[in-house]
């Protein structure tokens, strides 16, 4: 299988895109560790995804991320794949943005992704090989009314991928981002039926994305089939931004 013998870590693997990604990597032969903030939920998700284990991790805690990533690499002898998927989204019009929203969004989406990429790079550096994928968004590339904070955080995530790719390429480590459109998960469950219909109407492929659409692209990006691809931000949006 495509990922036989590989060891993979997926953050935010308890549901949605992270859970589908953990499942896709496990089905492709990888030994997968997934994380979520709640240990019981992480273990339950790991069992559902066919992952080796589910561990508790809050990605805003740099020390916890570093300790967990080091622990996974030690237990499994190496770390080949890291998917920095954990993220949050809360909408607010410019005049309604609270400081707390700025803090939680940036500490989870930007700092959380950065902590994960840093720890992954440290764990992969010794073997001079590895593949990292981070979760950007089409709104990070194109902007979105009512989502200024989230869009800013996802633009930062895309640039974490581009910058880390430049820095880590010589160490054999590839870093890419995926930029999903509207994917049917808990994150977008607040969208009204009208908003969903409007998005579908603007999408050439005529539907919302499913978590598996993103998971399948991530599985490709972390595989050896993508061995000359780094620093890219791959849109997975059914053509929504065209």
Judged by beta carbon, residue 4 or residue 186, the one nearer ligand NDP is 186
Q: Does 196 bind ligand NDP (CB under 6 A)?
A: no
Which of 14, 203 has the CB closer to ligand NDP?
Answer: 14
Single out the residue of 6, 7, 8, 14 in contact with ligand NDP (rule: CB under 6 A): 14
Q: Counting contacts by CB under 6 A, is residue 180 touching ligand NDP?
A: yes
Choice from 135, 160, 173, 218 touching ligand NDP (CB under 6 A): 135
Q: Give the nearer residue to ligand NDP in terms of CB position, either 66 or 171.
A: 66
Site string for ligand NDP, 47-86 (x = CB under 6 A): ----------xxxx------------------------xx
41 near ligand NDP (CB under 6 A): yes
Name the residue nearer to ligand NDP (CB basis): 48 or 187: 187
Of 150, 173, 180, 237, the active-site residue reads 150
Task: State yes or no: residue 37 binds ligand NDP (CB under 6 A).
Answer: yes
> Is residue 224 at the binding interface for ligand NDP, with CB under 6 A as the rule?
no
Chain positions 203 to 222 lying near ligand NDP, rule: CB under 6 A, are none
Sort residue 51 into left (φ over 0), alpha (ψ -120 to 50) or beta: beta
88 scored as a contact of ligand NDP (CB under 6 A): yes
Binding-residue total with ligand NDP (CB under 6 A) = 32
Residues forming a β-bridge with 233: 177
Does 36 interact with ligand NDP (rule: CB under 6 A)?
yes
Contacts of 34 (CB under 8 A, 6+ apart): 9, 10, 11, 13, 14, 18, 19, 22, 42, 45, 46, 49, 51, 53, 54, 55
User: Does 142 engage in binding with ligand NDP (CB under 6 A)?
Assistant: no
Per the CB < 8 A criterion, the answer to whether 135 and 17 are in contact is yes
Q: Is 150 a catalytic residue?
A: yes
Which positions are catalytic? 150
State the residues that interact with ligand NDP by CB under 6 A: 11-18, 36-38, 41, 57-60, 85-89, 108, 112, 135, 137, 180, 182-183, 185-188
């Amino acid at each position: 299988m495509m990922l036989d013998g590989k060891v993979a870590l997926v953050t935010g693997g308890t549901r949605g895109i992270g859970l589908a990604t953990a499942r896709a990597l496990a089905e492709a032969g990888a030994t997968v560790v997934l994380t979520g903030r709640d240990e019981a939920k992480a273990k339950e998700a790991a069992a559902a995804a066919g992952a080796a284990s589910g561990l508790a991790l809050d990605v805003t805690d740099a020390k916890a991320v570093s300790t967990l990533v080091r622990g996974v690499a030690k237990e499994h002898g190496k770390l080949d794949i890291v998917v920095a998927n954990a993220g949050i989204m809360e909408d607010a019009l410019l005049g309604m943005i609270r400081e707390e929203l700025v803090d939680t969004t940036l500490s989870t989406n930007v700092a959380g992704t950065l902590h994960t990429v840093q720890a992954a790079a440290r764990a992969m550096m010794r073997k001079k090989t590895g593949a990292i994928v981070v979760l950007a968004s089409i709104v990070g590339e194109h902007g979105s009314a009512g989502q200024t904070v989230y869009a800013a955080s996802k633009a930062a995530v895309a640039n974490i991928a581009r910058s880390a790719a430049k820095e880590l390429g010589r160490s054999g480590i590839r870093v890419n981002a995926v930029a999903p459109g509207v994917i049917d998960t808990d994150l977008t469950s607040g969208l009204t039926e009208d908003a969903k219909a409007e998005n579908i109407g603007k999408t050439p492929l005529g539907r919302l994305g499913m978590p598996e659409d993103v998971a399948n692209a991530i599985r490709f990006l972390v595989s050896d089939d993508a061995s000359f691809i780094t620093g890219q931000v791959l849109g997975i949006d059914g053509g929504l931004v065209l």
